[in-house]
Amino acid sequence: MLKMTTNTVLDHTGAPAFTWLLCLMYVCFIPDHTICLGNNNHVPLEVATGSTPDISPLLNYYFWQKVYYKVDDSDFPSKSGELTECWVGIAKHVRHAMTYEIPTDDMCKVISWWNIHPFDPKAPNL
DSSP code per residue over 78-123 = TS-SEEEEEE-EE-TTSSSTT-EEEE-TTSS-EEEE--EEESSTTS
Confidence bin at 125 (pLDDT 50/70/90): low
The 10 Å Cβ neighbour count of residue 20 is 15
pLDDT digits (tens, 9 = 90+) for 36-73: 777 777 788 777 888 888 888 888 899 999 998 887 66
Give the pLDDT confidence score for residue 111 in this predicted structure: 84
pLDDT digits (tens, 9 = 90+) for 30-39: 888 777 777 7
Return phi, psi of residue 26, to 5°: -65, -45
pTM over the 0.85 mark: no
Classify residue 46 by burial, with Cβ atoms within 10 Å: 0-12, 13-18, 19+: middle
